[in-house]
Chains A and B, each alone.
Chain A
Amino acid sequence: MKYRFALEYEIDTPLAIAVAVYLDAEHYVFLHKKYSDTYEVLWHDLAARKIFIRETWSLLGFRLGQTCMTEYIPPAELRNYDIKPHPWWIPSIHHVMQTTTRLVYTEIPERNSTLSTLEMELDMPFWLYPFRRWIRKAIERLKIEKDQQDIDMIERRARLFGRENNSIYLADHQFILHKQDYLRHFGPNSKRLTPAD
């Protein structure tokens, strides 16, 4: 049975920064180490902008994790799907529930900020369905907590370097995922997504 919901809020940062922070994979297992502290690339097809990853975390002395397909759809959409528990024998909700997430960032031109919209689709067996709101709450809480870490980083960088400064992400030595595509849309020679009046 499918259960869909969306989580939407405004992030007080330009779209170019919101996307850059997501693609700045170097922070995943450090800033977010509380949630997962290993990240492995199992397979990738950069032309298709797909990276299949495994991330793990420790819980009560056990190392748990999941594999997941991640996909970037420029300029500002990110999808996660095919989420499977790792190792396969660990008890996990992902054995019985298929999760697909679609995160879309949209520019709010009046404030030069970003609307973050996370659409989730949970495909679950009927016996899990009564617990869907509880599952939703848990997913939302996790998303908000992790986003807060990113927002703290964004705010501190805005204070230090300026709110619209994405130069470090553009620097040729700096690694970010799908950089060529990012530059096409948010680099110095990119077209504005919202034409200026």
Chain B
Amino acid sequence: MTQSPPGPADAFYPRPIELRDLHRGVVQVRDVGEGVEVVVIPDGDKLYVLREACPHMGGPLSQATYCRKDGTLECPWHGYLFDVATGALRDNPNERIMASLREPTECFRPERAPRYALTLLAYTVIGDRAYVSRTRGRE
């Protein structure tokens, strides 16, 4: 018998993530239906599910590099480093690489940089499946 997630039927994307197919510590991409792809990173007893686009310029996080030791995800476009547990930006390495060129000017105000953060998606696990919520935020 197929179990369905609790609550209203449209609270979740239609296609659940099959947990048995996932590889630990590896960045994977899953189609959750309706043309939506999410990035899935299972690590230990944790499962991170996030939007596939980098909050900086939309880079493909399915091609990001995950560091298990630090719990960080590095975007392939500009190397911004995010904390997968909180989603917060931990480092923009270009601040060091380009340090001598990054003098603030009237059209470059680094102090105004937004707090970039990964969009972590909530999900509910039922049996061997994780149903991804349409709302943001982890459960």
A residues contacting B by CB (< 8 A) are: 24-27, 29-31, 39-41, 44, 46, 51, 153, 156-157, 160-161, 168, 172-175, 177, 179-180, 183
Contacts and interface: CB of A to CB of B under 8 A. Distances in A.
Contacts of A157: 57-58
Interface string B65-100: 000000000111111000000000000101001101
Interface string B38-70: 000000000000000100111110000000000
B20 interface: no
19 contacts: A25-B94, A25-B101, A26-B79, A26-B92, A26-B94, A29-B79, A30-B75, A30-B76, A30-B78, A51-B101, A153-B77, A156-B60, A160-B58, A168-B56, A172-B109, A173-B108, A173-B109, A174-B108, A180-B105
Contacts of B112: 172-173
Contacts of B92: 26
Interface in B106-138: 107-114
A157 B8 CA distance: 34
Nearest to A157: B58
B23 interface: no
B102 interface: yes
B114 A173 contact: yes
A169 to B, nearest CB: 9
A interface, over-half SS: helix
B60 A44 contact: no
A175 B76 contact: no
A183 B107 CA distance: 8
A160 B100 CA distance: 32
Interface of B: 53, 56-60, 74-79, 92, 94, 97-98, 100-102, 105, 107-114
A162 to B, nearest CB: 11
Given A41-B101, A177-B101, A172 B77 contact: no
Contacts of B74: 30
A96 B135 CA distance: 61
Contact of B102 (A39, A40, A175): A175
Contacts of B78: 24, 26-27, 30-31
A160 B101 contact: no
Nearest to B109: A172
Contacts of B60: 156
Nearest to B110: A173
Contacts of A27: 77-78
A180 B77 contact: no
A44 B100 contact: yes
A41 B98 contact: yes
A41 B99 CA distance: 9
Given A30-B76, A175-B108, A180-B107, A161 B58 contact: yes
A160 B92 CA distance: 22
- 4 closest A-B pairs by beta carbon, nearest first, are A30-B79, A173-B113, A26-B78, A26-B94
